[in-house]
Chain A
Amino acid sequence: MTELHKTSPSVTNGQALLHILKLWGRQAPRLVIGIMLALLALCMALVLMQLSGLRLAGTVLGEVVIATALLRWVGAGRVVLRYAERLFAHDAMFRALADLRVWFFRSLAHGAAAGLGFRRAGDMLSRLVTDIGTLDGLYLRILVPFTCACLTLPILLIQLCKQSIVLGASIGVLFACTAFFLPYLIARSGRQEAEQLTKNLASLRINVLDLVGGLREIRAFGAEGRILARVQAADATLLRGQMRLARKAAFANATAFLSGQIAIFLILLAVSGVWFFKVTPIAGVGVLFLTVAAFESAATLTRAGLQAGAMGASAKRVVEIAQDTRLTSSATPTVEAPEDTHIHVQNLAFRWSVDRPYVFSDLTLDIPAGARVALLGPSGVGKSSLAALMLKAATPEAGTITLGGIPLSDIRTESLRQKMAWLSQATHLFDDTIRANLLLGQPDATEDQLWQALDDAAVANVVKNLPEGLDTWLGEGGIKLSGGQGRRIALARTLLTQAPILILDEPATGLDAQTEQEFLQTLNTVADGRTVILIAHRLTGVERLDRIYRLSNGIATAATA
């Protein structure tokens, strides 16, 4: 994992944003319609402002230029369109975000068979929730207003140039500054700060998760004050950054406002005839109202400019996950797992990363179909690594593993994993009911099968005595049960699967000596016909085994069963 992190090519923020836009493809029609509605609403707003100004100004000539009915119609249109546009655009956006969240989880799952590695769950959560949440601004605050500004500029230019080319040109430049140049400048100057902000938020979240997860340690060591200080330091960093950004935003807002005011001032000059570009007052009034409305919508882009940096950073953090995982699966193998479950490991070399020592240097072992094999050795010798390699949760550096004669690298991963059920040291109990946790092993298991599995795992009596039985909520990491009981639930889940190969990594952990013996005896019978790979540090003598391998110094030596 470490290695992957170091070599993964870094994506620029721009590329990341483009990637995100591509991922939104499914919602493209909705998103486009949202923009169209926004444009229509904008036109209505511009027309309304111009009309109501003209209506009043026109009376000077002794005529009502604009009919009241028209005004009313445009007014109602504006209100309705604005409502429809916002509703539609937001809905489209949130659909796209939901898609993105699903995509993110899938990408994460794709490369996470060996666990999260150095990636922290809190950080992943931050990316899924906050970072993806920030991306709504990409569409709502940048794309939509930008398109609107692109439409406003020519309208404004045409209307103004009809009166005076010089006036039109100068206000056009001002508008372009407010809507495009200023946001660009702000985005550039605030980018680093905004990127830092997302990182700071993630770091605060990790610190808080540490505090919550480590409550026992903290209480036992009386470290409340220290941990609190640490979290508050992370908090203070975040808040300081936010304040700096807020100052920048305030400055940007004021600048955008001022440039709008200058535009109005120019028109006033023109109307009053002080300046060389003289404009007829009537037309001046219409143009003035139009300009006010146009600059109002442009100002939102200035604010968005500041968020653009944050969005780029967020997009990068989201896309990175997929970049990481793409490397692990260069070519997708298509061969289905064979019926034959003979496993053969030949001259295998493996280490978790280049800066760590070899787990296996030259490992060779043979596990016939339906055999019961024990892999023995002290902890840290690589028993669990071997299981990870068999499940393609890790890739060997050299050597091969074959299943029924076919190299694992050629077998479709999902199909391979259907053949094997792994009870690992880190098997996770979900914050759900016992039933839901068991059904993860086999979704269509019957009630009887569930109880049978629980019975085999020597935990049926415990579950029976729970008032809610199978529907008891396990709590986070199975906190509602004792450690040993939780472990046995996980074991029952593994036994429930129909996989022909069972890899049991220290299945008896958390059992007392007597229960352990009983369990191992049960295992002799329940797993009949299946290959059982028992990973253990010692044997109790009751196991019925066909082969025993001892692992040490990166190689396996066969011992007699």
Chain B
Amino acid sequence: MSGEKVAIRGWTRTQSRLGRRAARPVVVFNILSSMMGVGQAWCIASILGYALTDLHATVASHSISLVVPLVGFLLLALLRAGMMALGDTASAKAGIDARRQLRGSVLASILTGGPALLRQSHSGALTNTAVDRVEALDGFFGRWIPASITWIISPLLILLPVCIVQPRSGLVLALCGLSVPFGQALFGIGAAVASRNQFLAMTRLQARFLDRVKGIATIVLAGRTEDETQRLAQAADELRQRTMKVLRVAFLSSASIDCAMVVALILVAVLNGRIALALHPDGSGEQLSHTLTCGLFVLLVIPEFFAPLRALALAYQDRAHAQGAATAILELPVAQQTSTPKEARTVNAHGVTISFDDVSFTWDATRGPALQNITFTVPAQETLILAGTSGSGKSTIMELLLGFIQPDSGKILFNGAPLETIVPDALSKMISWIGQKPVLFAGSLKENILFANPDADDVALMAAVKAAAVDQFLPDLPHGLETYLGEGGFGLSGGQAQRIAIARAYLKNAPVLLLDEPTAHLDPATEKSVFESLQRLALNKTVVLATHSAAVHMFNGRRIDLQNGQIVSRQGAA
């Protein structure tokens, strides 16, 4: 647990270091803008000071001496507006750049983790990390990091002229300002915990909703809509309560700053009032005017003094978001951009012999091994049939062959080369895989087929479409090859979806073909025609076919029967 905390802190620190560089322009613009605010305050104070004592001393018009502060005020206002706009833009840019980079690395991590990741986390949670958690970091880079620098510099810079002009007010301001970090530290701890809980509630709500929406038909038809709605209401309400906890702390911390500011305002006003009153009977207009100008200046500068502190308090949630994001991001595997192991090799693509040498694998120690001491060989361009009941370990063998998971013990060899020494790219070039239900991506039918090989030309595409018999159902689709496929492929039957997978495999034309119960959801007539397409596809390829279909006799080759992760019988020279 503490190790995790250290890791989170380390991550936040690294990101802060990276973010600070990008935040530099923001900081500069913000400080400059503060300084101009001070200048403006001085202009206003001098005008008011003049005017007030002017009225009192009834001297003839001082209008001309007022021209300088008036013009100065206007010029500073224009400049300051420019600085603000530049600062805002720079801050947005810092946030955007950081998010682009972070999202890229999160996605790379997810891709590195591969399918095995889905056994640990819900796809909703992973999506949440890549989209919302990263999006929530905008404030961390755009607001928190600049604010964490300006909150010290700006107030100190403002304090300087105040101390010169009126040391006593300067002291008041400094003391009130000092109380702020203490308050912040106090509230900060609470804020971090509350914010982490809030993000957890958010993630839970999202994962729950995504899961329920995917199965919404099941819920509705089971007549459980009301129950599920109530549960969602509970989750939504939990989110509200957690959010309120975060906000309560945030509001308290900004209220503490408001408090410090109001105290400073009142103290300065009262203090200066006393001085002015004391001076008043003397009637020395010059001195009174000076005191008044200084007093007004300090009064006007107080909001400027507290503005960076307030910005820090507002950005405190952003920091907490970063910690929440760190937790989720650190759970992902480290991204490997070019993970070429030593002695990496590719395997001769013409004819691949696959062998398992005493391979064992366990998904979950409490449920026993999924595969025990599996040994077999499939010579190049031959077929191996894996038979066995559901849950006997066929899919595990497929996942091992695909390199999604690594064996606990034993070796998997492709043409004699251990699987782990083969470059992942080379491995995926060697293998075509067709599972039980192909994933169809958001996009047209054509894009979904071209997914296997985006560089394929129209001739190759049409050849694949024909070979996989996709052309048989094309006329039924509203827009032919351009038909948009929705979630899970709306309107496509299982057989049709499977044909798209076959077309993909045709387009890829890899020497190894892995078929994981490709006809599990099909009726015999469709199964027969799918198998026919597969037979053509399997020509001159090394094939591993997992199935318990009766139509398997269409494929001849070696056969092994699995039961509870062990080979119980062999046919042929497997």
Is B55 interfacial (CB-CB < 8 Å)? Answer: yes
Is B471 interfacial (CB-CB < 8 Å)? Answer: no
How many whole Å from A269's CB to the nearest CB in chain B? 7
Q: Tell me the complex Cα distance, A391–B233, Å.
A: 27
**Docked-complex contact B272 and A56, CB < 8 angstroms:** yes
How many whole Å from B302's CB to the nearest CB in chain A? 9
Chain A residue, CB-CB nearest to B89: A250
How many whole Å from B201's CB to the nearest CB in chain A? 11
Q: Tell me the complex Cα distance, A420–B215, Å.
A: 18
Contacts of B451 in A (CB 8 A): 217, 221, 223, 226
Given A109-B229, A211-B111, do A288 and B48 touch, yes or no (CB 8 Å)?
Answer: yes
Contacts of A71 in B (CB 8 A): 266, 269-270
**Docked-complex contact B51 and A281, CB < 8 angstroms:** yes
**Docked-complex contact A254 and B210, CB < 8 angstroms:** no
Contacts of B82 in A (CB 8 A): 254
**Docked-complex contact A118 and B100, CB < 8 angstroms:** no
**Docked-complex contact A379 and B84, CB < 8 angstroms:** no
Q: Which of A222, A246, A250, A282 contacts B429 (CB 8 A)?
A: A222
**Docked-complex contact B224 and A355, CB < 8 angstroms:** no
**Docked-complex contact B73 and A59, CB < 8 angstroms:** no
How many whole Å from A534's CB to the nearest CB in chain B? 13
Contacts of A467 in B (CB 8 A): 366-367
Given A228-B108, A257-B84, A356-B478, do A209 and B123 touch, yes or no (CB 8 Å)?
Answer: yes
Given A79-B262, A129-B132, A480-B119, do A380 and B391 touch, yes or no (CB 8 Å)?
Answer: no
**Docked-complex contact A254 and B44, CB < 8 angstroms:** no
Is A220 interfacial (CB-CB < 8 Å)? Answer: yes
Chain A residue, CB-CB nearest to B514: A220
Q: Tell me the complex Cα distance, A211–B488, Å.
A: 13
Chain A residue, CB-CB nearest to B56: A60
Given A220-B428, A357-B476, A378-B523, do A264 and B228 touch, yes or no (CB 8 Å)?
Answer: no
Number of A residues with CB within 8 Å of any CB on chain B:
164
Chain A 482-496 per-residue mask, 1 if CB under 8 angstroms from chain B, else 0: 111100000001000
Chain B 450-479 per-residue mask, 1 if CB under 8 angstroms from chain A, else 0: 011010000000000000000000001010
Chain B 123-136 per-residue mask, 1 if CB under 8 angstroms from chain A, else 0: 11011001110010
Given A79-B262, A90-B247, A246-B89, do A515 and B389 touch, yes or no (CB 8 Å)?
Answer: yes
Mark out the residues of chain B between 390 and 404 whose CB falls within 8 Å of any chain A CB in the assembled complex: 390-391, 395, 402-404
Chain B residue, CB-CB nearest to A96: B240
Q: Tell me the complex Cα distance, A484–B521, Å.
A: 10
How many whole Å from A528's CB to the nearest CB in chain B? 22
Given A112-B216, A239-B96, A249-B88, do A231 and B292 touch, yes or no (CB 8 Å)?
Answer: no
Is A347 interfacial (CB-CB < 8 Å)? Answer: no
**Docked-complex contact B216 and A116, CB < 8 angstroms:** yes
Q: Which of B206, B452, B548 contacts A513 (CB 8 A)?
A: B548
Chain B residue, CB-CB nearest to A120: B487
Chain A 411-426 per-residue mask, 1 if CB under 8 angstroms from chain B, else 0: 0001001101110111
Q: Tell me the complex Cα distance, A34–B265, Å.
A: 27
Is A184 interfacial (CB-CB < 8 Å)? Answer: no
Mark out the residues of chain B between 49 and 66 whose CB falls within 8 Å of any chain A CB in the assembled complex: 50-56, 61, 63, 66
Is B24 interfacial (CB-CB < 8 Å)? Answer: no
Contacts of B135 in A (CB 8 A): 201
Is B496 interfacial (CB-CB < 8 Å)? Answer: yes
How many whole Å from A558's CB to the nearest CB in chain B? 20
**Docked-complex contact B428 and A261, CB < 8 angstroms:** no
From A100-108, A165-173, A174-182, A364-372, give the one contacting chain B.
A100-108
Contacts of A356 in B (CB 8 A): 476, 478, 491
Contacts of B495 in A (CB 8 A): 379-380
Q: Is the interface of B mostly helix, strand, loop or mixed?
A: helix
Chain A residue, CB-CB nearest to B51: A281
**Docked-complex contact A440 and B219, CB < 8 angstroms:** yes
How many whole Å from A304's CB to the nearest CB in chain B? 15
Is A271 interfacial (CB-CB < 8 Å)? Answer: yes
Q: Tell me the complex Cα distance, A98–B243, Å.
A: 12
Contacts of A255 in B (CB 8 A): 81
**Docked-complex contact B277 and A213, CB < 8 angstroms:** no
Chain B residue, CB-CB nearest to A236: B100
Chain A residue, CB-CB nearest to B227: A443
Given A97-B240, A109-B225, do A476 and B233 touch, yes or no (CB 8 Å)?
Answer: no
Given A265-B74, A422-B221, do A219 and B114 touch, yes or no (CB 8 Å)?
Answer: yes
Is B70 interfacial (CB-CB < 8 Å)? Answer: yes
Q: Which of B104, B217, B425 contacts A393 (CB 8 A)?
A: B217
Contacts of B48 in A (CB 8 A): 57, 268, 271, 281, 284-285, 288
Is B438 interfacial (CB-CB < 8 Å)? Answer: yes
Chain A residue, CB-CB nearest to B426: A222
Contacts of A322 in B (CB 8 A): none
Q: Which of B55, B86, B123 contacts A212 (CB 8 A)?
A: B123
How many whole Å from A461's CB to the nearest CB in chain B? 10
Q: Which of A209, A219, A483 contacts B403 (CB 8 A)?
A: A219
Mark out the residues of chain B between 250 and 282 whose CB falls within 8 Å of any chain A CB in the assembled complex: 251-252, 255, 258-259, 262-263, 265-266, 269-270, 272-273, 276-277, 280-281
Is A274 interfacial (CB-CB < 8 Å)? Answer: yes
Is A462 interfacial (CB-CB < 8 Å)? Answer: yes
Contacts of A83 in B (CB 8 A): 251-252, 255, 258
Contacts of A121 in B (CB 8 A): 210, 213-214, 487
Chain A 116-141 per-residue mask, 1 if CB under 8 angstroms from chain B, else 0: 11111110110011100000000000
**Docked-complex contact B389 and A484, CB < 8 angstroms:** yes
How many whole Å from B41's CB to the nearest CB in chain A? 11
Given A215-B114, A431-B122, do A483 and B524 touch, yes or no (CB 8 Å)?
Answer: no
**Docked-complex contact B47 and A271, CB < 8 angstroms:** yes
Q: Which of A119, A212, A378 contacts B486 (CB 8 A)?
A: A119
Is B522 interfacial (CB-CB < 8 Å)? Answer: yes
Contacts of B7 in A (CB 8 A): none
**Docked-complex contact A102 and B233, CB < 8 angstroms:** yes
How many whole Å from A60's CB to the nearest CB in chain B? 5
Given A253-B84, A485-B390, A485-B391, do A476 and B216 touch, yes or no (CB 8 Å)?
Answer: no
Chain A residue, CB-CB nearest to B55: A281
Is A546 interfacial (CB-CB < 8 Å)? Answer: no
Is A204 interfacial (CB-CB < 8 Å)? Answer: yes
From A16-24, A47-55, A156-164, A519-527, give the one contacting chain B.
A47-55
Given A424-B217, A509-B521, do A98 and B93 touch, yes or no (CB 8 Å)?
Answer: no
Contacts of B425 in A (CB 8 A): 222
Q: Tell me the complex Cα distance, A465–B395, Å.
A: 19
Contacts of A258 in B (CB 8 A): 77-78, 81
Given contact pairs A75-B263, A129-B209, A232-B107, a sample of 7 additional A-B residue pairs in the complex whose CB atoms are under 8 Å apart: A56-B292, A58-B273, A129-B202, A224-B111, A250-B87, A265-B77, A282-B52
Q: Which 7 A-B pairs have the closest CB atoms?
A: A484-B390, A428-B215, A537-B523, A222-B428, A246-B92, A250-B88, A59-B276
Q: List 20 A-B contacts (CB under 8 A).
A: A78-B258, A82-B255, A98-B239, A102-B229, A108-B216, A109-B225, A115-B217, A125-B210, A210-B442, A223-B451, A253-B84, A258-B77, A261-B80, A380-B493, A430-B212, A480-B119, A483-B517, A511-B390, A512-B389, A537-B523
